[in-house]
Structure 1
Amino acid sequence: MDRIDCAVIGAGVVGLAVARALAMAGREVVILEAESAIGTQTSARNSEVIHAGISYAPGSLKGRLCVAGKAALYAYCAERGIGHRRIGKLIVATQASELPELDRYIALGAANGVTDLRVIGAAEARAMEPEVHCVGALHSPSTGIVDSHGLMLAYLGDAEVHGATLALQSPVLSGEATQGGIALQVGGDEPSTVLCRTVVNAAGLGAQRVAGAIAGMPAALIPPLYFAVGHYFTLARKSPFHHLVYPTGREGALRAHVTIDLGGQCKFGPDLSWRDGVDYRFDPTREPAFRDAIRRYYPGLRDGDLQPGYTGIRPRLAGPGSSMHNAATDFVVQDERQHGAAGLVNLFGIESPGLTASLAIGEHVRQTLGEARTGAS
C-alpha cells in the first residue's frame, strides 16, 4: 500500500486551489481526478463571473470567502497574466415596485464588507447601457469576468512547482478511516490503495458520493445533494452590452442575466430547473421564457437572436423552493471535529461563488486542517 501525505479528490477550480494552498504550505499533495482532464464539470460550465459578494447571507461562508476571494483573485490574475476584466455589473429594476430591492442589495453587500455599491437613476443607467430599459439600477464596479480554464492551469502549475502530482482518470471508489490514516481505493487503468494522512474531498457534484463511500464517515452528516441545472442561451450577433446586467427579482423567477466573456460573446442565463443526476442535455423549448424575461430589460431583443448555448449544474444542498443565498445552501467545510474521521475534510455545496472564492477556500481549508490537528492533539 502506497503512503502519501495528502490527497485532494477533484481537479476542478476549488480542488486545484486547495491543492495549491497545501502544496505551497509544504504538504506532499496528490490530486485524484476521475475524468481525463481538469475542470470538466461545474468549473467548465458556468458564467466565469468574478462576483462582488452582494447577495449572500451576512456572516455566511459564501459571503466571507467571496469577498476575500475576489480581492485575492484580482491580484493573482494581474500577477500571473490570467485573462480577466473588472467589467462591472448593473442590477436593474424594470418597474418602480422593484426599486426597494436595490436598497436591500446595498444592505446585504455592506454586511459582507462590499462598500463600493451605489444606486443610480434610469438616466445614468441608460448612459452606461443604452439598450437597457430600467427605472433605476445598482452599480457594482468590482464585479468582473475571468478565464476560468487559464485560472485552473495556473493553480495546477503552482501546485506542481511545489511538488504536487496530478493523477487523471483516477476515481476514488471507496475508503476507510483508520487509526493510521484514510485508506482510499483508487480505480482507473492501474487500481491501487493509498493510505493518506489527509484527504480533502473536493469532488463537487460527486462529493456526497465520495463521502458516503468512506467507512467511518457518519452518513447522517452527509447533506443531501440537489442537481440545480442552469441553461445559457447565446446572442447570435455582436453584444450591445458593456457591463454584466442582472434584473432584480425573487429566486425561482427567470432572471436571465447578461454575461459577457473575454471574447465579447454575450450569453443569457442561467435559469433554474432540477434533475435527478448529472445530465447536461439542453432543452431548447425554454427559449420563449428566456425571450420574454430578457425583453423586460432589453426590449431590443429580436426573434431569432437567441441560440442554444450550454447547461451547467450546481451542487445545491437544498432543493426546489429554497433560496440560493440562505443558511441552508451555504458552503459546508466539514472536518474531524464534526464527523470524527481524522484527517478528512469534506467540501459540500461548493457552487457559485466558488470560482470567485477559490483562493480563499484553499486558504480556509489549509487553516482548517491546522486547527483540526491542533484540536486533536
Structure 2
Amino acid sequence: MTAARRVVVKIGSALLVDRTTGKLRQDWLAALAQDVVWLKALGVDVVLVSSGSIALGRGVLGLPATTLALEQSQAAAAVGQIRLARAYEEVLAPHGITTGQVLVTLEDSTDRRRYLNSRATMEMLIGLGVVPIVNENDTVATDEIRYGDNDRLAAQVAVTVGADQLVLLSDVDGFYSANPQQDADARHFPVIDRITPQIEAMAGDAGSGLSKGGMKTKLMAARTATAAGCAMAITEGSVMRPLQALEQGARATWFTATEDPQAARKRWIAAMKPRGEVTLDAGAVRALESGKSLLPAGVIAVTGRFGRGDPVAILGPDGAALGQGLIRYTAAETTLIRGHRSDEIEALLGYPGRAALIHRDDMAL
C-alpha cells in the first residue's frame, strides 16, 4: 500500500456500526483515522467510501432492524448522514486533516456531464489535501438511480479519481472457492489475476447483517476497478488499524491490474467515437506535445455537434489527427471562445468557465 499513489478505501456498515446497539464503533473509527494519517504522511492520497448513514439513522429514529420501506431508508439516511460526516471530521481534524462530504448516485457516473463535474470536484478536494468521504445519496436515490451497494460505488469512485489501489474492508478476509462458514474445505485465493467464469461461479450471495453486498458485488467491483488499472483488495476490516495490517501481510485477496490507471483511461478515451473536431494552431500542438492541457486560445476551427464531456477529435493545422479528448464545453460554446484567452471566457459566455478546453488527463494523443 505504501507504493500506491492514490488509494480508495471502502468501509461497510457492519464495521462502522455496532449491529446490537446501532451506535458508531468510535474506537475502531479512531484507529482507521490513524491509518489515514499514516498513508497521508507517506504522500498517498486517500478517499474513503463509507456506508453507515442508514444504519446510524435507523438507531436514532428507533426504526426496526428489518428491511425498511424506501421512505424509511431515505429518512434514516438523512438523519444518519450528518452524524456519519461529523464522526469522520471528529477523528481526522485533530490530526490536521480536513474532510469533505461527497454524496453521489448512479446517475452521476452514467451522465457524462455529471461524471466530469464530480471528477473535477474530487480532484480539487484531493489536490487541496482534503480526504473526501463519499457515500451514496440515499436521501434522494430511488431504485432506478441507485448503485445499491458501496462495493460497486467504491470501484466507480476509484475509476473516477484514477486510484491505483482499492481496498474493500469487509467481514471476510478475501475470496474463497465457497462460503468458508459453510464449507470447511473452502480454498482461499491470495491473488486473482483474471476473473474467469470459474471464479464467478464460486461467488455466493451471502451478505452480513447491516450490509447489502455479497461476494458477487465484490467481483463486479473488482472487474470495474482492474479494467481501469486499479488493483483491488478484499480484507477483513474489523481489526484495529486494518490498512496497516494489510500492509504488514494480513490475509487478503488481491485482484491485480495489468496497467496503470492513466494508461487505462487514455485507452478508454481513444476508443470512443468522436462527436466533432477541433483544429489547433502550431503553438497549441507544441503545448500538447509538452504535456499541457488544450486552451481555447490554440483552437482555430470547430466542427460537429457535441455536448460537454463528449469525445472530440484533435487535429493539427494541416488536418492530421493528433488524438482525441473529452471536451469541457459544448460545440456552440467552443465556437464562441476559440482563439481567446481563458480569462476572457466569462465575458464571452456570460458565466465563468473552466480554463482548459480539454484537460490533459482527459486527452489521448
Q: TM-score, normalized by length of structure 1?
A: 0.27
Q: Comparing both structures, which one devotes a greater share of its residues to helix?
A: 2
- Which structure is richer in relative contact order (CA contacts within 8 A, separation 6 or more)? 1
TM-score, normalisation: structure 2:
0.28
